[in-house]
């Protein structure tokens, strides 16, 4: 498609957009009395309007039923999390028995590493990407130290080549093969939070298994954003937060995947808890742990249903739409945003540098832009003029044109505000 940097063309694209009605399903912050252009769904998604009714349902059941709500609420609390299995399995590409919701992202990664990072004197190294999200770095450092290793000995970072912003797949594979028999675990962010690069999860998972390592993925920036096939890719485990592209609310519960090949292994180490015990015998209060067959066997505590309710509202919206439609619009609107940026760059004779891969197969719903010659004052100008973007040092803005609630006209209007901010 040949794009045009005009309001009429943007509106034409919106008129053809099969997802355009969903923008009305969300509540937008306002600046100067107008809805903002919201580019930070990669940090915190907007609130769906339907969320309130899901939370109110639980509040009403609690008021009217008290403890009996566990069994007699409209959606009984004791198995509330089971409503996620079917729709989430479609979003991340797995069997319903392989996916659940519990805890928060870093907590789940720690718990999963109990099962899947079991170092030995000869096989103890972990491969991760350079400039992983700091929480992952802290987690990995604390895990290897817990097992008696020094971080500098056990953690192997895959680095970018000099002068490049993204990590080459062939360099990941080469490093996996180089570490070889000493490699216990590969754990990488499926989408790099800083650059927006999407890793080849299928190929990297296969390479890790080829040398005998376990492979897990932090899908914080991938779930609800990227077409995933966790089961078919033979991924050992994965976890993701729900408050970015999945719009469940700040700090909300995490999704969790464990491949079915591990479900029957009761000898696999894990930190056990009451909610992971045999569901049919849970209330018999038995002294020996008998894990549920499936990923639910990794659950520990009963679930915070007030936190689950907003997530369920969003997951059911995703189920209505399907990932194919979302990915189709995501690709188109991201490409249009890229076009707008390049057009504005020419008009103002500036020097933007998009550090997210140009190949659509290696990016998703994010463009990270180096603002060469511009400083934080431009970021502050955008915020004051109703464009909510994310700033990362030294001078990068991250733009996430989320297909559920961003329009093509938003992309055009952003370009006009950006141009004015540079010229003023």
Q: Is the pLDDT of residue 351 over 80?
A: no
The whole-number average pLDDT for the span 330-337 is 98
- Write out the DSSP string of 5-49: -SHHHHHHHHHT-TTGGGGGGEEPPEETTEE-EE-BTTTSPPEET
Q: Give the rounded percent of residues in the chain with a pLDDT score beyond 70.
A: 100
Q: Cα dihedral sign for 318, 323, 328, 334?
A: positive
Q: Give the distance from CA 45 to its chain's centroid.
A: 11
Q: What is the pLDDT of residue 281?
A: 82
Q: What is the pLDDT of residue 292?
A: 85
The whole-number average pLDDT for the span 163-186 is 97
Which range (54-63, 336-345, 348-357) has the least confidence?
348-357
The rounded distance, in Å, linking the Cα atoms of 331 and 366 is 10
Q: Is the pLDDT of residue 283 over 80?
A: no
Task: Report if pTM > 0.75.
Answer: yes
pLDDT tens-digit map of 94-147: 999 999 999 999 999 999 999 999 999 999 999 999 988 889 999 999 999 999
Measured CA distances, 236 to 63, 191, 208, 225 (Å): 41, 18, 11, 20
The rounded distance, in Å, linking the Cα atoms of 397 and 400 is 10
Q: Measured at the alpha carbon of residue 140, what is the angle toward residues 138 and 143, in degrees to the nearest 5?
A: 105
Q: Is the pLDDT of residue 392 over 90?
A: no
Name the band, by pLDDT with cuts 50, 70 and 90, for residue 42.
very high
305-315 per-residue burial string, b: 16 or more CB within 10 A, e: under 16: bebbbbbbbbb
Mean pLDDT value across the chain: 95
Q: What is the pLDDT of residue 393?
A: 82
Which domains, and CATH codes, for the chain? 7-48+322-423 (3.90.1150.10), 54-321 (3.40.640.10)
């Amino acid at each position: 498609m040949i794009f045009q940097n005009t309001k009429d063309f943007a509106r034409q694209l919106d008129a053809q957009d099969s997802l355009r009605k969903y923008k009305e399903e969300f509540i937008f912050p306002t600046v100067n009395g107008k809805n903002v252009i919201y580019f930070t769904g990669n940090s915190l998604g907007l609130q769906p309007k339907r969320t309130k009714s899901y939370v109110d349902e639980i509040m009403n059941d609690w008021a009217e039923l008290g403890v009996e709500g566990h069994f007699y609420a409209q959606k009984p609390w004791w198995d509330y999390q089971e409503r996620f299995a079917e729709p989430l399995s479609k979003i991340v590409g797995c069997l319903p028995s392989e996916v659940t919701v519990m805890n928060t992202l870093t907590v789940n990664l720690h718990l999963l590493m109990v099962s899947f990072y079991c170092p030995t004197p000869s096989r103890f190294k972990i491969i991760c990407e350079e400039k992983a999200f700091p929480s992952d770095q802290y987690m990995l450092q604390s895990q290897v130290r817990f097992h008696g290793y020094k971080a500098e000995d056990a953690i192997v970072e895959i680095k970018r080549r000099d002068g490049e912003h993204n990590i080459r797949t062939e360099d990941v594979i080469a490093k996996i093969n180089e570490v070889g028999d000493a490699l216990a675990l590969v754990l990488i962010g499926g989408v790099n939070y800083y650059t927006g690069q999407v890793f080849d999860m299928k190929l990297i998972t296969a390479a890790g298994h080829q040398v005998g390592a376990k492979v897990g993925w932090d899908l914080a920036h991938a779930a609800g954003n990227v077409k995933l096939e966790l089961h078919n890719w033979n991924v050992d485990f994965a976890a993701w937060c729900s408050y970015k592209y999945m719009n469940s609310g700040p700090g909300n519960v995490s999704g969790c995947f464990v491949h079915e090949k591990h479900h029957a292994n009761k000898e696999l180490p894990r930190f056990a808890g009451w909610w992971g015990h045999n569901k049919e015998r849970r209330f018999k209060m038995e002294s020996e742990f008998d894990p549920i067959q499936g990923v639910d066997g990794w659950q520990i505590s009963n679930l915070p249903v007030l936190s689950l309710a907003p997530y369920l509202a969003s997951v059911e919206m995703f189920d209505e739409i399907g990932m194919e439609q979302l990915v189709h619009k995501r690709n188109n609107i991201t490409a249009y945003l890229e076009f707008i940026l390049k057009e504005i760059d020419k008009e103002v004779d500036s020097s933007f540098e998009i550090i997210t891969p140009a190949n659509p197969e290696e990016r998703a719903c994010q463009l990270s832009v180096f603002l060469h010659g511009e400083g934080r004052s431009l970021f502050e100008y955008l915020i004051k003029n109703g464009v909510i973007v994310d700033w990362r040092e030294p001078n990068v803005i991250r733009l996430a044109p989320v297909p559920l609630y961003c329009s093509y006209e938003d992309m055009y209007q952003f370009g006009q505000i950006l141009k004015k901010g540079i010229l003023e």
